[in-house]
Structure 1
Amino acid sequence: MPGDRIIFGAAAIPEPDRDWLAAAERLPIESIWQGGHLLPPTSTGEAITRLALMAAWTERVRVGTAVLQLPLYPPVIAAKQLADLDSRTGGRVSVGVGVGGEFPKEFEAVGVPLKERGPRTDEAMEILRALWNGGPVTHHGRFFDFDDLELRPVRSPGADAPEMRPGGPPLLVSGRKAPAMRRAARLGDGWMPYLMSPDAYARSVAAIEDEARAAGRDLAGFEWMMYLYCCVRRDGDRARNDVEAFLGGAYGDKPRAMLDRIAPSGTPEEVAARLQKYVDAGVRHFVISPAAPDDTLEVVTLAAEEVLPRLTLPVPAAPGGVAP
């Protein structure tokens, strides 16, 4: 089951910004994340470019993609780019991966059939891991075919220069449906869903553990994460209005009651009560994505300084299933 502490990360919304990142890095958070698209309908960035900016403009925190739409990328290119970033940051990179599909024209533009995005992601994850493990790699798969390729991450000059961690960055699977859970259980180093209620998260934990058990896989060290749209304000009504404006239209004009189940909002006390339910369901690493049109640093600050300290780990059950 999940680890023995609760940690927070933050999404750099709306775009990675040097001053925002510097302020966020002074908070008690441990990671910063951004995703991206190739051909989004608005002028937003691409995932690996954003990751590179975050890597350059931070010093302490993990930086990660949330998420990289892996089937859109030739895996050898993605493996090299991500390995170089991990090496130059001394192992601070994490790779959230997803299958995408929101914008079909992205797939058309790069010649990837939309219906192949799942199996392409699975095969690409296998290739990334093989190349990051070092040595010559030969791969003959359904979509990719090559012999004796060896990836050598770039290093900064100097004997004490940082380098890529052994085995490469963790691959954290995102999604909400059963195929993503199977992918996490069999190929991932962690699970990072989004727009999921605490009850649904608990079911996903059980499904992943069952799938891993069936595959004979030990989930020791597996990261139980949640990419959580939320808004924390001193004024709880303002926070709820922010979430409704930010997410309601984007996800089909969902009513406020439904949004509250998947995107907590309110005062620090109110949001902490909602997040505690996720902790009880198994989440140990929250990525706080501010669902707000402005003042996003305030959301992250209140979350890190006033919500996180209110969260507690469940009391372990004593032998026989009875809590002590």
Structure 2
Amino acid sequence: MPDRIVFGAAALPEPERGWLEAVERLPIESVWQGGHILPPTGTGEVITRLALMTAWTERVRVGTSILVLPLYQPVVVAKQLADLDARSGGRVSVGVGVGGEFPLEFASVGVPIAERGARTDEAMTLLRKLWQGDEVSHHGKFFDVDNVTLRPVAPPPGDRMATSGQLGGPPFLVSGRKAPAMRRAARLGDGWMPYLMSPNAYARSVETINAEAAATGRDLDGFEWMMYVYCSVRRDGDQARADVASFLGGAYGDKPSAMLDRIAPAGTPEQVAARLQEYVDVGVRHIIISPATHENTLEVVQLAAEEVLPRLTLPTAPPAPAGSGSPVAAASGTVSP
């Protein structure tokens, strides 16, 4: 994988065809959206949103940010994701996490919230097996499968966008902020995609993931170092900072403004570039711009793509690789919940 800096964008507040068409004309390489089953507000569910994004884009990579995997029956979601990957021309990526901020979701689908980490580990392992295309039998703590073969949807003749999907299925980008998520990324993931994390904290997470990979004999060649960044970019830096304070103040109002400033860059293109450069310097290579504003999100993404991205530069010494061994073999590992 080439060592370069790329930008993605979060399709907030909901995927919208015109917005996605405009973003595809920008130097943006990916679009992302999450979603809950029982959110406290009227927002969409993640697989539904992913389906809309695959249908309304042609070029960019499309991903979940994030899929709360323990809420889903793995055979069902494996089929859904494989079909969307095939119909989109192999453009799907799966940002995955354990959730937990809405306990009612877990109770409503019969999943004990204390099991969410272990269920996520086992589900990721099972999805990997199903996406290989071979007959699968799996007998774990939470899931039992006997002699099943998952076949993605066959693209209709003449559909230029559709293929058989990515060999082995879409990549897993593990999200989170705590040590179990880092261990999950090192053992089971194809990349690391945390959120609300300062550059210093990201640097520590890189060390943790590298150490865990080395301990398990996993080679992280091709591993994706990503960051989901809430931010606002405006010509008027004061407006951008007001955007972030308003957007994150309700959800993260317990955090002082100085902390929000460390984890949610805001300002002019020059100011935001300086802040994002700190992430690049500690190893981030794919930055997902999540507009931290309630209005005109396209302006934030456009300024980021056209005036922030060109200002970022790779450090002279890239982060050292870790470990050795096979990512496929590591996919059978287990991470503490």
CA contact (8 A) 1:3 1:284 kept: no
Quote the residue 2:123 is aligned against: 124
Trace 1:66-81 onto structure 2 (pairs within 5 A).
Answer: 66-81=65-80
Who is 1:321 aligned against? none
Match of 1:101 in 2: 100
Q: Is the 8 A contact 1:5 1:313 kept in 2?
A: yes
Cα RMSD over matched residues? 1.1
* Aligned match of 2:284: 283
Residue 256 of structure 1 deviates from its aligned partner by: 1.8
For 2:262, the aligned partner's letter is R
Deviations 1:215-268 (A, max 9, x none): 110001100000000000000000001100100221134222111100000000
**Whole-angstrom CA distance in 2 between matches of 1:185 and 1:154:** 31
Q: Which runs of 5+ in 2 are unaligned?
A: 319-337
For 1:89 and 1:244, locate their aligned partners in 2 and report how far apart those are by CA, in whole Å: 36
The one-letter code of the counterpart of 2:27 is: P
CA–CA distance in structure 1, aligned partners of residues 166 and 157 of structure 2 = 17
State the partner residue of 2:228.
227
Give the Cα–Cα distance (whole angstroms) in 1 for the partners of residues 308 and 167 of structure 2. 34
Letter in 2 for 1:147: D
Query: Which runs of 5 or more residues in structure 1 are unaligned?
Result: 318-324
- Name the amino acid aligned to 1:60: R
| 2:62 match: secondary structure | strand
What SS does the corresponding residue of 1:182 show, helix, strand or coil?
helix
Aligned twin of 1:58: 57
CA shift digits 1:288-316 (9 cap, x unpaired)? 00000101000000000000000000012
- Residue 21 of structure 1 corresponds to which residue in structure 2? 20
Spell out the pairing of 1:208-219 with structure 2 (5 A cutoff): 208-219=209-220
- Residue 194 of structure 2 corresponds to which residue in structure 1? 193
Pairwise CA distance, 1:3: 4.8
* Distance in 2 between residues matched to 1:91 and 1:43, nearest whole Å: 30
Supply the distance in 1 between the matched residues of 2:271 and 2:127 (Cα, whole angstroms).
Answer: 41
Deviation for aligned residue 1:52: 0.1
**How far is 1:158 from its partner?**
2.4
Q: Distance in 2 between matches of 1:288 and 1:143?
A: 35
CA distance, structure 2, for counterparts of residue 3 and residue 235 of structure 1: 34
Say whether the 8 Å CA contact 1:248–1:255 is kept in structure 2: no
The residue correspondences of 1:174-189 to structure 2 (distance < 5 A) are: 174-189=175-190
The AA in structure 2 aligned to 1:282 is G
CA distance in 2, matches of 1:253, 1:236: 23
Q: Is the contact made by 1:156 and 1:162 (CA closer than 8 Å) also made in structure 2?
A: yes
TM-score after normalising by structure 2 = 0.92
Work out the CA distance in 2 between the residues paired with 1:254 and 1:196: 13
Tell me the distance in 1 between the aligned counterparts of 2:88 and 2:257: 41
Q: Name the counterpart of 1:320.
A: none
Counterpart secondary structure, 1:303: helix
Letter in 2 for 1:173: V
Is 1:300 matched up with 2:301?
A: yes
CA contact (8 A) 1:90 1:163 kept: yes
Task: Give the partner amino acid of 1:265.
Answer: A
The aligned residue for residue 83 of structure 1 is 82
Tell me the equivalent position of 1:34: 33
Alpha-carbon distance between aligned partners in 2 of 1:111 and 1:3, rounded to the nearest angstrom: 43
Stretches (4+) displaced over 6 A: none
Question: What residue in structure 2 maps to residue 158 of structure 1?
Answer: 157
Deviations 1:29-85 (CA, angstroms, capped at 9, x unpaired): 000000000000000000000000000000000000000000000000000000000
Residue identity in the other structure for 1:124: A
Q: How many residues align?
A: 316
* Secondary structure of residue in 2 paired with 1:64: strand
Question: Which whole-Å deviations, capped at 9, do the CAs of 1:72-130 have from their partners, x for residues lacking one?
Answer: 00000000000000001110000000000010000000000000000000000001111
What is the match of residue 240 of structure 2? 239
Q: Secondary structure at the match of 1:80?
A: helix
Distance 1:57 1:202 in 2: 36
Tell me the distance in 1 between the aligned counterparts of 2:281 and 2:239: 27
| Secondary structure in 2 matching 1:234 | coil
- 1:204 and 1:47 map into 2 onto residues whose CA distance is 26
SS state at 1:211 partner:
helix
Q: Distance in 1 between matches of 2:25 and 2:236?
A: 24
